[in-house]
Amino acid sequence: MRLATVMHQGRPRIGRVSDDARRIGLYEGEAALGLLPAIEAQARGTRWPEPVEDVALDPHALLAPLPRPRRNLFCVGRNYHAHAAELRDSVFKGSTAKVDAWPIVFTKVPETVIGPHAPVRLPGAAVSEQIDYEAELTVVIGRAGRNIARADALDHVFGYTIVNDVTARDVQMRHSQWDLGKSFDSFCPMGPWIVSADELAGQALRVRCFVNGELRQDASTSQFIFDIPTLIETCSRGITLLPGDIIATGTPAGVGMGMTPPRWLRAGDVVRAEVSGIGAIENRFVGEETPA
- Chain residues in the site for Mg ion (CB under 5 A): 134, 165, 251
CB of 242 to Mg ion, least distance (A): 22
Query: Which residue number, 86 or 134, has a Cβ lying nearer to Mg ion?
Result: 134
Query: Which residue number, 165 or 269, has a Cβ lying nearer to Mg ion?
Result: 165
CA 273 to chain centre: 10
CB of 220 to Mg ion, least distance (A): 17
d(C-alpha 39, C-alpha 35), whole Å: 6
Query: Which residue number, 128 or 251, has a Cβ lying nearer to Mg ion?
Result: 251
Query: Which residue number, 18 or 223, has a Cβ lying nearer to Mg ion?
Result: 223
CB of 27 to Mg ion, least distance (A): 32
d(C-alpha 156, C-alpha 145), whole Å: 7
Query: Which residue number, 61 or 219, has a Cβ lying nearer to Mg ion?
Result: 219
In terms of DSSP bridges, do strands 2-8 and 188-196 run parallel, antiparallel, or are they unpaired? antiparallel
CB of 246 to Mg ion, least distance (A): 12
DSSP state letters, the chain: -EEEEEEETTEEEEEEE-TTSSEEEE--GGGGG-HHHHHHHHHTTPPPPPPSEEEE--GGGEEPSSSS--S-EEEES--BHHHHHHTTTTTTTT--S-TTTS--EEE--GGGEE-TTSPEEP--TTT-S-EE--EEEEEEE-S-BSS--GGGGGGGEEEEEEEE--EEHHHHHHTSSSHHHH-STT-EEEEEEEEETTT--STT-EEEEEETTEEEEEEEGGGBSS-HHHHHHHHTSSS-B-TT-EEE----S--GGGSSS-----TT-EEEEEETTTEEEEEEEE-TTS--
**How many Cβ atoms from other residues are within 10 Å of residue 176's Cβ?**
7
Query: Which residue number, 3 or 139, has a Cβ lying nearer to Mg ion?
Result: 139
How many residues does the structure list for the chain?
A: 292
CB of 79 to Mg ion, least distance (A): 8
CB of 195 to Mg ion, least distance (A): 20
CB of 252 to Mg ion, least distance (A): 10
CB of 287 to Mg ion, least distance (A): 24
Report yes or no: 129 and 103 within 8 Å, Cβ to Cβ. no
Query: Which residue number, 6 or 209, has a Cβ lying nearer to Mg ion?
Result: 209
Chain position whose Cβ is nearest to Mg ion: 165
Query: Which residue number, 172 or 196, has a Cβ lying nearer to Mg ion?
Result: 172
